[in-house]
Amino acid sequence: MATEIERKFLVRADWSPAAVAGVTAMRLQQGYLLASPQMSIRVRSAPDAAWLTIKGSSTVSENSLERLEFEYPIPTADALVILTTLCTQPVIDKTRYSLYEGSTLWTVDVFAGQNAGLVLAEVELEHPDQTITLPAWIRQEVTSDGRYSNAYLSKTPFSSW
């Protein structure tokens, strides 16, 4: 069974991917076919790949967000049609930066469009009680704040808060 365990954080305004060695970047668009408290079904498109992802309801503890997650590759052309015709609008537009801090892989999402100004970092954990060292560029944990989920942002963009 596929389980996602993650923590989510706001990033300090002075963070810059240019200051990080070994960082990689990928532009992503993602949209939601369904976003409810019980589950979400999304389509995500990168320049050369696309995925359909099904996530179960979230269990939020003090230190993590845990849920079932199933992800499947789909043709990129199909994803683009689904994003523009079937998904709730606006579609999430962001650049995802992947980087290591020590041995921990972090992803930092810099949002564009109606979510511009929002920068979030996520770290996936192997188990809910895993201890991590927070990088200096982390501002505040928002794991338990549902407003920072991409599903919520697709319905209520950051610019409307």
Residues noted as catalytic: 32
Q: Is the dihedral of CA 73, 79, 82, 84 positive or negative?
A: positive
